[in-house]
Structure 1
Amino acid sequence: MSGLKLFRTNTTNSGVREVMPRLAEVEADVQGLVEAHMAALLGVRFLVSEYSTGPIHGGRIDSLGLDESGSPVIVEFTDRR
Structure 2
Amino acid sequence: MSDLKVFRVRGGRATEIPGASVAVERELQSLVEANMEAMLGIRFLATEYPTGQHRGRIDSLGLDENCNPVIVEYKRSRDQNVINQALSYLYWLQGHTHEFENLVKEKLGVEAAAPVDWSNLHLVCIAGAFSPHDKVAV
Structure 1 length-normalised TM: 0.68
Q: Counterparts in 2 of 1:35-54, with a 5 A limit?
A: 35-54=33-52
**Cα-to-partner distance string for 1:9-51 (whole Å, 9 max, x where unaligned):** x8xxxxxx5x445246321111111000000000000000000
Task: State the Cα RMSD in Å.
Answer: 2.3
Amino acid at match of 1:42: L
Matched residue of 1:47: which SS? Answer: strand
- Structure having the higher Rg: 1
Check whether the contact 1:24–1:30 (CA below 8 A) recurs between aligned residues: no
Matched residue of 1:50: which SS? Answer: strand
Structure 1 runs not aligned, ≥5 long: 2-7, 11-16
Task: Tell me which protein shows more strand as a share of its residues.
Answer: 1
**Could you tell me the percent identity over the aligned residues?**
53
